[in-house]
Chain A
Amino acid sequence: MKISEILNENIISIDLKPADKTEAINMMVDLANNSGKIIDLEKVRACIFDREKIVSTGVGKGFAVPHGKTDEITDVVAAFGITKSGIDFDSIDSEPVNFIFLLVGKDSLLNAHIKLLSRISRLMNKEDFRDKLLLATSPKEILNLFKEEEQNLIDI
Chain B
Amino acid sequence: MEYIILILSTLVIFSVLLSKFGDDTGTPALLIFIAIGMITGSDVLGIIYFDNVNITQYISVVSLVVILFGGGLNTNWKYVKGSFKGAAVLASFGVLVTTFISGLFIHLILELDILYSFLIGSIISSTDAAAVFSILKGKNLKLKGRLKPLLELESGSNDPMAIFLTLTFIELIKNPDFTVLSFIVFLFSQIGLGIICGMIFGKILLFVTNRFKFSYEAFYYILLLSSSFFIFSVTSLINGSGYLAIYISGIILGSNYFIHKKSSIRFFEGFSWLAQIVMFITLGLFVFPSKIPEIFLPGFVISIILILIARPVSVFLSLMFSKFSLKDKTFISWVGLRGAVPIILATFPMTNGILGSEIIFNLIFFVVLTSVLIQGTTLPWFARLLKLDDNSANKIQSPLEFENNPDSNAKLVEYIVPFNSRISGKKILDLKLPENVLIVLICRNEVFFIPKGNTVINEGDILQILLEKHQIAETVKLLN
A residues with a Cβ closer than 8 A to B are: 1, 5, 39, 54-55, 57-61, 63, 65, 71-72, 74-75, 91-93, 109-115, 117-119, 121-122, 125, 155-156
Contact = CB atoms under 8 A, between A and B. Distances in A.
Contacts of B396: 109, 111-112, 115
A54 B392 contact: no
Contacts of B476: 54-55
B256 to A, nearest CB: 11
A54 to B, nearest CB: 6
Given A5-B392, A118-B445, A92 B401 contact: no
Given A61-B419, A92-B418, A92-B480, A122 B398 contact: no
A55 B419 contact: no
B433 to A, nearest CB: 15
Interface string B430-450: 000000000000011111100
Interface stretch (B105-113, B339-347, B408-416): B408-416
B416 A54 contact: no
B137 interface: no
B78 interface: yes
Contact of A109 (B78, B395, B462, B464): B395
25 contacts: A54-B472, A57-B416, A60-B418, A65-B416, A71-B78, A72-B78, A93-B420, A109-B396, A110-B401, A110-B402, A111-B396, A111-B398, A111-B399, A112-B398, A114-B443, A114-B448, A115-B446, A117-B414, A118-B444, A118-B446, A118-B462, A121-B416, A121-B462, A156-B445, A156-B446
Given A122-B446, A156-B447, A114 B464 contact: yes
A75 B421 contact: no
Best-surrounded residue of A111, A113, A125 (most CB of chain B within 10 A): A111
Contact of A117 (B395, B398, B416, B480): B416
Contacts of B444: 118
A122 B480 contact: no
Nearest to A111: B398
Contact of B460 (A1, A114, A122): A122
Interface of B: 76, 78-79, 392-393, 395-402, 413-421, 443-448, 459-462, 464, 472, 476, 479-480
Which of A58, A75, A110, A156 has most chain B Cβ within 10 Å? A110
A61 B420 contact: yes
Contacts of A122: 445-446, 460
A119 B446 contact: yes
B416 A59 contact: yes
Contact of A118 (B79, B393, B418, B443): B443
Contacts of B76: 71
A111 B413 CA distance: 13
A60 B419 contact: yes
Contacts of B472: 54
Contacts of A39: 78
Contacts of A54: 413, 472, 476
A60 B443 contact: no
A121 B418 CA distance: 9
A122 B443 CA distance: 11
Contacts of B461: 118
A75 B79 CA distance: 11
Contacts of A125: 419, 459-460
B398 A109 contact: yes
A59 B398 CA distance: 25
Contacts of B393: 75
Contacts of B419: 59-61, 63, 93, 121, 125
A39 B461 CA distance: 30
Nearest to A69: B414
A60 B446 contact: no
Nearest to B392: A5
A117 B443 contact: yes
A156 B444 CA distance: 10
A101 to B, nearest CB: 11
Would you list the 8 A-B pairs with minimal beta carbon distance, nearest first? A111-B398, A60-B419, A121-B460, A92-B418, A59-B418, A60-B418, A110-B398, A118-B443
B460 A92 contact: no
A60 B418 CA distance: 6
B480 A115 contact: no
B480 A55 contact: yes
A91 B416 CA distance: 12
A74 B142 CA distance: 13
B446 to A, nearest CB: 5
A93 B479 CA distance: 13
Nearest to A92: B418
B44 to A, nearest CB: 44
A24 to B, nearest CB: 18
Interface centre among A59, A71, A119, A125 (most CB of B within 10 A): A59
